[in-house]
Chains A and B, each alone.
Chain A
Amino acid sequence: MTLNRRSFIGASVAAAAALSAPMVKAMGKPRVVVVGGGAGGATAARYIAKDSKGAVDVTLIEPTRKYYTCFFSNLYLGGFKDIEDIGHTYGALAAGGVNVVHDWAVGVDRNAKTVSLAGGAVLPYDNLILSPGIDFVEGAVEGWDVSAQNAMPHAYKAGSQSELLKAQLMAMPEGGVFAMVAPPNPFRCPPGPYERVSMVAHFLKENNPTAKIIVADPKSKFSKMGLFQEGWANHYEGMVDWIGEDFGGGNVSVDPSAMTVTIDGEVTKVDVCNVIPAMKAGRIAELAGVTDGNWAPVNAADMSTKADADIYVLGDASQQGDMPKSGFSANSQAKVCANAVRGALTGSKVFPAKFANTCWSLIAPNDGVKVGATYEATAEKIAKVDGFISQTGETSDVRKATYMESEGWYSGITNDMMG
């Protein structure tokens, strides 16, 4: 139907309302394209498909056929999990009505509202959700770039990198040195590097007890610092040497061919070097033009970007305010976003945004700790409401229960993401 002035005037309130409501599409089902099948993207795709009961077309673009969760990848390093325990396929999402396309998104045309894929396809969207996770800032650690990631793995995207780091850990000579270059804020999973130190220490204590761990850190403090340091002293006495900003931990360069790390001018030959460089939003967010600096600023109420109301960014890639970059956060944001997108496209009820996060970390067998908070949407940002953290000196029963809880959480969130 073409609208001329007569028919427009003749049309009733309904048509007038239709013109102002984004839900009305001239024909066909509304289309949502989700880029990235991780904690944010898989959850958003699943919830929109599930809750719209077929009223919205949902396509998920994800290059890998199996998603290895970064969460619990440290437990894999420590020997508490097999690599396949943390791998998840997309079959259940597909069975749940999500069109899963294994490809890379390589471009976004915001005027035409299309996403182009490496394989050549061009997909139209009404709403686009980007949850591409992180990429590394080039030149962040002197001497390191992605071509050096085999000699000095980051293992900050899980899968082959995690397996590589584990293999290097296992191959360490007796009494060898494991070095970590920790990242500056903000980065994915604030307790992640320190849980990793704990798990590596656990592995070495069991298999190579005279080995040492050095951590060069550009920060002077880190997430759950008191808890981790207490745990390192209790379980791994004398093994971990953490060099913070105050002692030159930020003044670091590496030489991947010589396997040396230079911290504040002092050169050390190491056996394994885990370089975790500074991070930025996954590159597709930048290609879509929705980033400002390293991250994509979003509106707290629905995770839509400040740059484009039809594009949403979830999880690590977003710059939203107070929430840490975690799988729990990405999952929480995805559900708020899914509710808003479905509302915009089908007219379903939109409820106010609520967010939460809890991050569990394992320090040693049955010694789990956690930190968490709730958040709300304000005009400026996602703002913290309330929070808690495990206490130092807790009983072993409490710590064990906390670890058991993290196992429960892992089953919960992976089911919630992947169906």
Chain B
Amino acid sequence: MWRGLFPLTLLFGLILSLSSVVWAQGGDLDAGKKVFKKCQGCHQLGEGAEHRIGPHLNALFGRKAAGAAEFKYSKSFKRAGAGGLVWHADTLDTFLENPRAMTSGTRMSFAGIKKAEDRANLIAYLREFSDNPADIPEADPTARGTDHDLDPAILALQGDPEYGAYLSGECTTCHQAAGGDAGIPSIVLWPEDDFVVAMHAYKNQKRIHPVMQMIAGRLGDEEIAALAAYFAVLEE
């Protein structure tokens, strides 16, 4: 499964040998589905799944890292893919335990899943959505991270990226323009809709974070759209 000759594989190999015991035992699908709730804010899975803040996770097994078409990955993810990292139970297990240990520059704002059992269950659940085994059960992507009751007119606004560039100064004091994230999540290359939905959720006090509620609270609809347009295409 490790076909790449890139020296990174050596490192990954080391990490893997430590953690490979657990996944081999298989996992509980129902429990895995519950664990997947942690992922749902950014990743879709199952029928009709699309890329959102993160790529969709259908047919994940056997996919090269950074291998989903039309998703904008971080540089470090692309490097890992080019270096031969392919998603299988063992590599996923390592990645999910501490995403940044494996791909230090990933934009995935997620600390990792510490319990080996939770990871094994999640991986078993994810496996159901890959071609093999072929009998993929009906998907049930109900509670999406993008569930919202936002006025479609707000979502339809076309933001002015130049204005967004100026306004972004207020964001980049904390959120790194290069997409790095530790303690404060990355906000670059999000689909515009997700960005707009999240900012309005802060503005309407549905998402709880005092700094973000304060910043979003005084941004108008046009301004949020402008920021979304700007960050959606900001390259590292």
Contacts and interface: CB of A to CB of B under 8 A. Distances in A.
A356 interface: yes
Place the interface of chain B in its size category. 20 to 34
A156 B168 CA distance: 30
A413 interface: yes
A246 interface: no
Contacts of B210: 370, 372, 388
A413 B174 contact: yes
Interface in A374-419: 374, 385-388, 404-409, 411-413, 415-416
Nearest to B226: A351
B163 A351 contact: yes
Contacts of A416: 172-173, 176-177
A409 B166 contact: no
A373 interface: yes
B139 interface: no
A66 interface: no
B166 A351 contact: yes
Interface in A327-358: 328, 331-332, 335-336, 339, 349, 351, 354, 356, 358
A47 interface: yes
B93 interface: no
A230 to B, nearest CB: 18
A115 to B, nearest CB: 26
A387 B214 contact: yes
B218 A374 contact: yes
Contacts of B181: 408
The A contact surface, by secondary structure, is: helix
A351 B169 CA distance: 12
Nearest to B171: A412
Contacts of A335: 166, 169-170
A417 to B, nearest CB: 9
Given A411-B176, A411-B184, 18 more contacts: A328-B173, A332-B173, A349-B162, A351-B167, A354-B167, A356-B170, A356-B215, A370-B211, A374-B215, A385-B218, A405-B211, A406-B183, A407-B183, A408-B183, A412-B174, A415-B177, A415-B178, A416-B177
Interface of A: 47, 51, 328, 331-332, 335-336, 339, 349, 351, 354, 356, 358, 370, 372-374, 385-388, 404-409, 411-413, 415-416
Interface of B: 162-163, 165-167, 169-170, 172-178, 180-184, 210-211, 213-215, 217-218
12 contacts: A47-B169, A51-B165, A339-B166, A356-B170, A358-B174, A374-B214, A374-B217, A405-B183, A408-B174, A409-B174, A413-B174, A416-B177
